[in-house]
Amino acid sequence: MDEPDAQTLGPRDRRTDALGDLSVLPDETVCAILEYLTPRDVARFACVSSVMYILCNEEPLWMSLCLKSLNGPLQYKGSWKKTALYVEHLPSEYEEPCRKPLYFDGFNSLFLYRRLYRSNTTLDGFSFDKGTVERKEDLSLEEFYHQYEGKKPVLVTGLADNWPARHAWTTDQLLLNYGDTAFRISQKSAQKILMKFKDYVSYMKLQHDEDPLYIFDDKFGEVAPGLLKDYSVPHLFQEDFFDVLGRDERPPFRWLIIGPERSGASWHVDPALTSAWNTLLCGRKRWALYPPGRVPMGVTVHVNDEDGDVNVETPSSLQWWLDFYPLLADEDKPIECTQLPGETIFVPSGWWHCVLNLETTIAVTQNFANSKNFEFVCLDMAPGYQHKGVCRAGLLAFGEGSFEDADKNIFSGEDDCSYSELTRKEKRVRIQKPGDDPNFEGTITSASKRYNVWKQDFSYDINFLSMFLDKERDHYNSPWSLGNCMGQREMREWLSRLWVGKPGMRELIWKGACLALNADKWLERLTEICAFHDLPSPSDDDRLPIGTGSNPVYLMENHVIKIFVEGGLEDSLYGIGTELEFYNLLHKVNSPLKNYIPDVLASGILYLENGSYTVVPWDGKGVPDVISKSNLVPEKCKVDGYPFGVWNKKQIEYRKAGMSMHELSSSARCSGIWPYIVTKRCKGKIFAQLRDGLSWEDTLSLASFLGEKLRNLHLLPLPPLDYSIFSDFEQHLELAYINCHMEAVPNNSNIQVEWEIFIKTLMKKRKDVTSRLSKWGDPIPNTLIEKVDEYIPDDFANLLNIFEGENGLKKVCKPCSWIHTDIMDDNIHMEPSSVTLRLSENAEHDGLVDDASNGHDDGLKGKSWCPSYILDFSDLSVGDPIMDLIPIYLDVFRGDPNLLKHFLKSYKLPFRRMSECESVEGGDKFGRLSYLTMCYCILHDENILGAIFGIWKELRTAKSWEEVELAVWGELNNYKGFP
């Protein structure tokens, strides 16, 4: 420890000597840096000097360290340092002895003082209520819709008077009934935290945190279903467009909220611009609200130019009330109120709100999309970023001159598909902090001079906000914001179900689909294709794309039209080119699989030129003139045959493997050219619609069907390989893998070229696997993400058991085969079993069977269904056949090992011919099929791990990848196949 200077008259400032070069940094920055260290390193730093001792013993620091390293339910041990040391599993002899902490004079910190003050303050002084939110009793639905819905907040009394929760939801009663139930905790941590309610109650009594842990659990209905019986949705909020989705399908929408004094929700706008109601059962809450577009003081809005993701940087609820609220002039203060037990507050779409618990509170809240906010919800999930910035921050989202630029383009009405190269940027909108220049915001742009933001002359109108949509971006191939409340596939499915389930609301649903999906543009293109092929024009039932697929797909009366758009023109060409090559090969070799794939009626290319659409037929052979002019086709590819077939597609897969989201989105540029395919419509239903109503016998029949058909697919011969097309690929490899650990598989290694490109594509995906899994985040455990590099192999030659064959040629212990890659529940078709189906492989193809339902019969109960077709081969590739098991087992079988066994019994092909292989170097794991499959899951382009940890929730506390591997894929190690 540094010694005090005896010659000074008073205590000297010890900060400079104690921190050395770090003394130039403010305390806030030093504390932030310390949070990146491990608990053990922080303990070591505490011994460096007196000031570092003070900084390293701050409770907020140990709270952050503890939550980051937590792996399992949390138990608070009276202080965060003790809790963190407990989480570290330190031996008892290393526990900190019970002694008083050291104190040092000559050091003061306003930052630490404010934090200490907030941790120990009481909120009795907040009991006043000069509320500006209206209070209403016995509010009718008509009055609510006309005066408040979509317009302003309101406090309603009496809605919960008859709820059992009104009396049963007290701390003591919940402790008695749910003491051992683990609830989710809300904290500024990337990790999901669980705490048993009895431990949480103990924490509330002991803690002195400035931002206490807060139960904010959207899964409370699953872990404590009895709580759902204690309340009901008030009559004012019954309309909810998400109710067409099952509980597991809809985004999070209801939360149990329990928190002590000083806890709360910092400033935010509810996800997807949904509206919300919040009923308080116990305690008092202080609410502050601002209208849409008005960013509260002290809040920074980040809008990502690349994917439109919106992040809000905000002080804690308590900090805002203590540090910012007193600085506001009366005209700048928020709308506010104190909510009392039994009261329900309504928060309209897009409103900023902040909540502070004045004492221990218990509440329930639900978000919803209804006819009033539906278009805003769709707008929020539309691609682009400008409209998201404006929805959150109003016209402050624009920089100098940008509003004028937007104004020029808003009403152009041109279908201009030129694409400007974008770089990843963030638009930041900040409202001043104490001490900032008071003129910094408020008149920062010419746009805000035209619109007095502070007086809320900003228009939160759907027609106004939709003007800021990026007309060049398309839903199907633009980056998807991780902050959206649901994924792209889920949103398409939601709109499809609304279209079918709420026919009386179709005008409104169509408006939302046009905002989110560009549905009007795709309908124009569909109409042109129908006209060219003399097909009936789309009916009202047909004008919305169906399903969750990555391309717009339309179900017409007797046919299906798919327009290829995913990934941009280049990917679309290789998608349809490979599919058409595959269909041709099926019939050429007379594969029995052809009887279980819908007939292709037509295919071609639609393009826009000089404002008019043109259609040209194309069967995948040769290169149409419109494509030749697009500069996407190398000169050597302009040959007869299938220039966009599977072998050329493999090169594209290699080139794009490991690309960032920005690189992929930049390559997916809009070209005004769209390939398409028309197939015969199957009668019946897809498995996704039937899943819950199928008998076990029908499900077993489906497993057998898939095993049989996958066997036929994997036995199908591959197209001839023109080795000259890989010359550029070989040259590229010499430069691409200098730093990628590819020494084990050198360029001139004599491995079959089809396997060489497969292996090296995997190596590109391996390069950034940790960062990719970190971006996906929950439910993938952080502890496993940290171990992923040591789990997957450095040498993928070992993964595939490459061995020395004849003449020095290296072989792989399995065939390289066609793989579908995407057999999921919406790509399997089924028909009522009363119809005679073609279950024998030798049966003649007698066309599609029509039943009276025409695909729209919803009477599922009591029927028996039989699988009939496999759909959508646009993701076809060449590779390891075991990869096709991943979507089947996880999506179709939902991890049921009995269905997997039944599938394998019909599949009858080995996934590895071990008799041909020499001993595998590197240990037993390379001989396990489960290890091979788990590595494919980790390196998959889709978030397969999210599905795994969603099905096997108990694996979220797994200690190793081997534990996950054997739990999920262990059954494969018992399978030998039938060579």
Task: Give 620-625's long-range contacts (Cβ < 8 A, gap of 24+).
Answer: 620/576, 620/577, 620/579, 620/580, 620/581, 620/584, 620/644, 620/645
Higher-confidence residue of 335 and 429: namely 335
pLDDT reported for residue 6: 47
Quote the DSSP letter at residue 526: H
Amino acid at 626: V
Are the C-beta atoms of residues 676 and 563 closer than 8 Å to each other? yes
pLDDT reported for residue 131: 78
Higher-confidence residue of 618 and 423: namely 618
How does the average pLDDT of the chain come out, rounded? Answer: 83
Query: Among 433-437, 638-642, 759-763, 923-927, where is mean pLDDT lowest?
Result: 433-437
Are the C-beta atoms of residues 287 and 355 closer than 8 Å to each other? yes
User: For the residues 551-557, what does the mean pLDDT come to?
Assistant: 91
Amino acid at 261: E
- Name residue 606's beta-bridge partners: 615, 674
Q: How far apart are CA 169 and CA 573, in angstroms?
A: 59
Among 676, 695, 660, residue whose Cα is nearest residue 615: 676
The two tokens of residue 700 are 């077993």
The two tokens of residue 587 are 């019939």
Q: Which residue has the tokens 């978030």?
A: 943
pLDDT reported for residue 766: 85
- Name residue 429's beta-bridge partners: 301
Alpha helices in 72-187 (DSSP H): 80-87, 110-120, 141-147, 165-168, 171-178
Higher-confidence residue of 655 and 78: namely 78
User: For the residues 371-386, what does the mean pLDDT come to?
Assistant: 95
Does residue 663 carry a pLDDT above 60? no
Q: How far apart are CA 154 and CA 137, in angstroms?
A: 10
- Name residue 265's beta-bridge partners: 355
The two tokens of residue 862 are 């009591």
Quote the DSSP letter at residue 427: E
pLDDT digits (tens, 9 = 90+) for 686-703: 998 898 889 999 999 999
Q: How far apart are CA 143 and CA 139, in angstroms?
A: 7
Does residue 415 carry a pLDDT above 50? no
CA 499 to chain centre: 24
C-alpha distances (whole Å) from 167 to each of 180, 227, 364 are: 21, 12, 14
| Strand 135-137 with 154-157, pairing | parallel
Does residue 970 carry a pLDDT above 90? yes
Rama region for 672: left / alpha / beta (φ>0; ψ in -120 to 50; rest): left
3-state secondary structure of 859: coil
User: For the residues 612-628, what does the mean pLDDT come to?
Assistant: 92
What Rg, from alpha-carbon coordinates, does the chain have?
Answer: 31
Are the C-beta atoms of residues 771 and 884 closer than 8 Å to each other? no
Q: How far apart are CA 286 and CA 300, in angstroms?
A: 22
Query: Among 67-71, 136-140, 296-300, where is mean pLDDT lowest?
Result: 67-71
Q: How far apart are CA 275 and CA 350, in angstroms?
A: 8
Q: How far apart are CA 544 and CA 560, in angstroms?
A: 13
Amino acid at 794: D
pLDDT reported for residue 276: 97
Does residue 576 carry a pLDDT above 60? yes
Four-point Cα dihedral 945, 948, 951, 952, nearest 10: -110
Are the C-beta atoms of residues 837 and 595 closer than 8 Å to each other? no
Among 124, 283, 260, 126, residue whose Cα is nearest residue 205: 260
Strands (DSSP E) along 375-490, which ranges?
A: 426-430
Helix (H) or strand (E) holding 157: strand 154-157
Burial of 723 (0-12, 13-18, 19+ CB in 10 A): exposed
Q: What are phi and psi of 387, to 5 degrees?
A: -65, -30
C-alpha distances (whole Å) from 226 to each of 168, 181, 249 are: 11, 12, 21
Q: How many CA atoms lie within 13 A of 213 on its CB side?
A: 29
**Crossing angle (nearest 10°) for helices 769-776 and 944-951:** 50
The two tokens of residue 390 are 């404006």
C-alpha distances (whole Å) from 5 to each of 19, 46, 642 are: 16, 22, 85
User: For the residues 437-446, what does the mean pLDDT come to?
Assistant: 34
Q: Which residue has the tokens 């007196």?
A: 50
Three-class secondary structure assignment of 340-400? CCCEEEEECCCCEEEEEECCCEEEEEEEECCCCCHHHHHHHCCCCCHHHHHHHHHHHHCCC
How many helices (H) and strands (E) the chain has is answered by 38, 28
Burial of 775 (0-12, 13-18, 19+ CB in 10 A): exposed
pLDDT digits (tens, 9 = 90+) for 244-271: 998 878 999 999 999 999 999 999 999 9
Q: How far apart are CA 655 and CA 38, in angstroms?
A: 38
Q: How far apart are CA 366 and CA 279, in angstroms?
A: 9
Q: How far apart are CA 597 and CA 40, in angstroms?
A: 60
pLDDT digits (tens, 9 = 90+) for 760-799: 888 888 888 888 898 888 789 888 998 999 999 887 777 7
pLDDT reported for residue 844: 37
Q: Which residue has the tokens 């039994």?
A: 342
pLDDT digits (tens, 9 = 90+) for 451-501: 333 334 578 999 999 999 988 888 888 888 888 999 888 999 899 999 989
pLDDT reported for residue 432: 47
Does residue 436 carry a pLDDT above 70? no
Does residue 963 carry a pLDDT above 60? yes
pLDDT reported for residue 255: 96
Q: Which residue has the tokens 């990843």?
A: 424
3-state secondary structure of 281: strand
Quote the DSSP letter at residue 323: I
Q: How far apart are CA 573 and CA 596, in angstroms?
A: 24
pLDDT digits (tens, 9 = 90+) for 666-680: 555 557 899 999 999
Does residue 420 carry a pLDDT above 50? no
pLDDT digits (tens, 9 = 90+) for 882-897: 999 999 999 999 999 9
Query: Among 276-290, 295-309, 377-391, 632-646, where is mean pLDDT lowest?
Result: 632-646
pLDDT digits (tens, 9 = 90+) for 153-211: 999 999 999 999 999 999 999 999 999 999 999 876 667 789 999 999 999 999 999 99
The two tokens of residue 73 are 């339910």
pLDDT digits (tens, 9 = 90+) for 840-870: 443 333 333 333 333 334 455 557 999 999 9
Query: Among 124-138, 286-300, 450-464, 861-875, where is mean pLDDT lowest?
Result: 450-464
Amino acid at 145: Y
Strands (DSSP E) along 792-893, which ranges?
A: 802-804, 810-812, 817-819, 828-832, 865-870, 877-879
Give every strand in the sheet of 685-686, ordered side by side: 685-686, 828-832, 865-870
Alpha helices in 219-373 (DSSP H): 220-223, 317-319
User: For the residues 938-954, what does the mean pLDDT come to?
Assistant: 92
Quote the DSSP letter at residue 756: H
Query: Among 718-722, 825-829, 891-895, 919-923, where is mean pLDDT lowest?
Result: 919-923
pLDDT reported for residue 805: 60
Q: How far apart are CA 861 and CA 689, in angstroms?
A: 12
